[in-house]
Amino acid sequence: EDQVTQSPEALRLQEGESSSLNCSYTVSGLRGLFWYRQDPGKGPEFLFTLYSAGEEKEKERLKATLTKKESFLHITAPKPEDSATYLCAVVNTDKLIFGTGTRLQVFP
Amino acid sequence: EPEVTQTPSHQVTQMGQEVILRCVPISNHLYFYWYRQILGQKVEFLVSFYNNEISEKSEIFDDQFSVERPDGSNFTLKIRSTKLEDSAMYFCASSLNRDRKYSNQPQHFGDGTRLSIL
């Protein structure tokens, strides 16, 4: 059965303190791994798509990487506005299978 | 930037009543989806829709649920007889296309409709 596990569940960082979020997955034939950001009361906002092991994508302070079993979302020198829940999802035929997310809080 | 819009933002309904949730996907997108998120839980897939028919549905999407694209812009989710456990945030999403063989384009989500069943 396809599955996505994210860790940690919650992460508190001081502004400027870099860290990484983990997404482990099992899927029969990876056709895409997606990272989303979700703010309270809002829908998931698309960040990155990764399709094959070794691929990396960057956007501002965020960098996503992919191996055959997991993906990492690296946050460099975070700011308070980076506070949100970060969701990882893999695609199986039509549907996205989401993890439970990592709730990130960045304090000034 | 184009976005998916959903209405209403909050719907309160008595148990057993019918409810229709509405979505306007991004205009050039071809694939449409509904997901739900019960408070504190994962986002869960309900149904996907392409070329005016359901392409995949989950076990949650039983006979009480239906989807429709009544015109060129709207995409609706109907729950015929709501239950308490249908209370959740319902998200609509759309994607441009999907290469069946190799990869999938990202799905873009609306901000959801919070459905509260009393």
**Mean pLDDT score across all residues of chain A:** 94
For residue A49, give the H/E element and its range: strand A45-50
- pLDDT confidence tier of residue B60, bands split at 50, 70 and 90: very high
The 10s digit of each residue's pLDDT in B3-50 is: 999 999 999 999 999 999 999 999 989 899 999 999 989 999 999 999
- pLDDT confidence tier of residue B67, bands split at 50, 70 and 90: very high
Which residues from chain A sit within 8 angstroms of residue B93, using beta carbons?
A: 43
Q: How far is CA A35 from its chain centroid?
A: 4
- A63: three-class secondary structure by DSSP: strand
Q: CA–CA separation, A58 vs B85, rounded Å?
A: 39
Distance from CA of B16 to the nearest CA of A (A): 26
The 10s digit of each residue's pLDDT in B78-94 is: 999 999 999 999 999 99
- pLDDT confidence tier of residue B2, bands split at 50, 70 and 90: confident
Which member of A34, A42, A94 has the closest CB to residue B111? Answer: A42
Q: Say yes or no for a CB contact (<8 Å) between A44 and B43.
A: yes
- Beta-carbon count within 10 A of A77 CB: 12
Distance from CA of A61 to the nearest CA of B (A): 21
B102 pLDDT more than 70: no
